Amino acid sequence: MAFRRLASLFLLSYLFLFGSLFSYCSAARVSSSASGKVSLALYYETLCPYCSSFIVKHLANVFEKGLIKIVDLKLVPYGNAKVGSNNTITCQHGSYECLLNTVEACAINVWPDLLELRYAAETDALQPPHKYVPWVVVDGQPLYEDYENYITYVCKAYKGSAVPKACLARSHEIIVMGKEDPAPRVCEAEDTTKRAWAEVGPGRRQMESTA
């Protein structure tokens, strides 16, 4: 019972936070270069636990101490999914993840057609290609495994004069991860372990395969 209550509270907090993020992403339509803001993009998938943890514990801080005023935030809910024949999409964590990715895509921006396919094309066009999720990009530069330190990169990239308190209050030294650091908290794009995949398309077929 205690675990269920905790899980419910976490889910409610997650949904509330996403409501704020989605509202901001839907309202923000001015390009980063035109506004002088730093672009901050998160490429993720809904059922990757590391993506959820990053959003709740770290990305939420974008709303603190005026940081959001210098950030052009973009959320891309696609992650390690694959596009197959007939534009069918297979998701790393099953059919429910495909559904949630689509729901969040709708919440961010209501595309008239081909919701997830647009995010698929954007994710597949990344240079360098993403290796895992969460994949955080600041002004076109991926942060790799140092994604939790995104605020430091945003502050260093900002060239304007209205420096927010979030930047004034922290050191601008970027911490480089060493070999002694623990295993990265990511969901790999290529996984050699057996996992279930769900194919979403005509007839909503489900299948299991090994990577």
3-state SS class at 74: strand
**Whole-model pTM?**
0.74
Parallel, antiparallel, or unpaired: how do β-strands 71-77 and 38-44 relate? parallel
> In whole angstroms, what is the distance from residue 130 CA to residue 126 CA?
7
pLDDT of residue 128: 95
Write out the H or E segment, with its range, that includes residue 174.
none
Q: What angle do CA 8, 14, 19 make, to 5 degrees?
A: 125
Tens of pLDDT, residues 55-100: 989 998 998 889 999 999 999 999 999 999 888 999 999 999 999 9
The pLDDT assigned to 182 comes to 64
Spans of all domains in the chain: 38-112, 121-170
Do 160 and 108 meet the contact criterion of CB atoms below 8 Å apart?
Answer: no
| Max Cα distance, the chain (Å) | 54
Low-confidence ranges of the chain (pLDDT < 50): 1-13, 29, 111-112, 177-180, 192-211
Handedness of CA 72, 101, 210, 124 (dihedral sign): negative
Q: Tell me, what's the pLDDT at 24?
A: 56
Handedness of CA 188, 192, 197, 200 (dihedral sign): positive
| pLDDT for position 81 | 95
